[in-house]
Amino acid sequence: MTRIVCRQLAPTLADLPGNHRQILRVIAEETSSGADILILPELITSGYVFKSADEVDACAITPADPLAAEWAAAIEGESIVVLGYAERGDDGRFYNGAMLLNANGVLATYRKAHLWDEEKLFFTAGSEPPPVVATRFGWIAVMVCYDFEFPEFPRRVALEGADLIAVPTNWPLVYRPDGERPPEWHLAQAAARVNRVVIACCDRTGTERGQEWTEGTAIFDQFGWPASAAGDGHRAAYEVDLTATRDKSFNPNNDLFGDRRPELYL
């Protein structure tokens, strides 16, 4: 069984050293107390509500930055950490990035391909699909927030063998009717169910320049049911056999992927 943990944190806007210390502390805490896969929010190094490119510049790091090496060094045992960060590209551009690390260092990086709202003012969209990374716990795909609202993305990584989709996210609080779940949950529930993969969404907290967040951190099982939600507790945790996601059958006649009709899809 693999223990997946999401920690719903608040970064401090434009405070890279302070955010770095929080990341180090949480990685050490969680990986030393049983988290096999720890997921932190989008842009947890920098905060989100930027007003200028200078603010991004002051926080952006490359994946080769010594800070990332410190995060890796803080990982206890064989655990995996996924987190979102503001990336400084070799091309001088900024990306809304994510990385997957183990104790040896950075195993994979990703640049958000679907940018939300004013992110477009500060970040360049990624031009590569999400990575699907072999780990001792199973195949882990990484995408960021708005990315997974395009059903083609969960589908792609599931077809490539992902058992778990790790989604660092910052969900701005949006309208929902009384009694309804966050709309992003419906999208995650559907993406989990139609692909039979586990999806772990790590949202943030902490009002920033007046922006409130959904605080909707949750882990969905491979049938689309919410398995754990942070609620008021800032933490979702779920223990699962990720290899169970590989059986895509419903019955002797139906298989989720075998039943696809790609020749009829655009």
Residues that bind its own copies (CB under 8 A): 113-118, 120, 125, 127-129, 146, 149-153, 155-156, 159-160, 176-177, 180, 183, 186-187, 189-191, 193-194, 223-225, 250-251, 253-254, 259-262, 264-266
Residue whose structure tokens are 């004013």: 118
Nearer to its own copies, 101 or 142 (CB): 142
Which of these, 194, 234, 251, 237, lies nearest to 36 by C-alpha position? 237
CA–CA gap between residue 71 and residue 75 (Å, rounded) = 7
Q: Quick one: 38 or 197, whose CB is closer to its own copies?
A: 197
Q: Shortest gap between Cβ of 164 and its own copies (angstroms)?
A: 19
Residue 257: CB minimum distance to its own copies, A? 10
Q: Which is nearer to its own copies, 3 or 193 (CB)?
A: 193
CB of 160 to its own copies, least distance (A): 8
- Nearest distance in Å: CB 143, its own copies: 10
Closest separation between CB of residue 17 and its own copies, Å? 31
User: What is the full DSSP assignment across 88-146?
Assistant: E-TTS-EEEEEEEEETTEEEEEEE-SS--TTHHHH-PPP-SPPPEEEETTEEEEE--GG
Q: Which is nearer to its own copies, 36 or 87 (CB)?
A: 87
Pick between residue 55 and residue 255 the one whose CB is nearest to its own copies: 255
Instruction: Check if the beta carbon of residue 220 is closer than 8 Å to that of residue 192.
Output: yes
Q: Do 39 and 2 touch, CB atoms closer than 8 A?
A: no
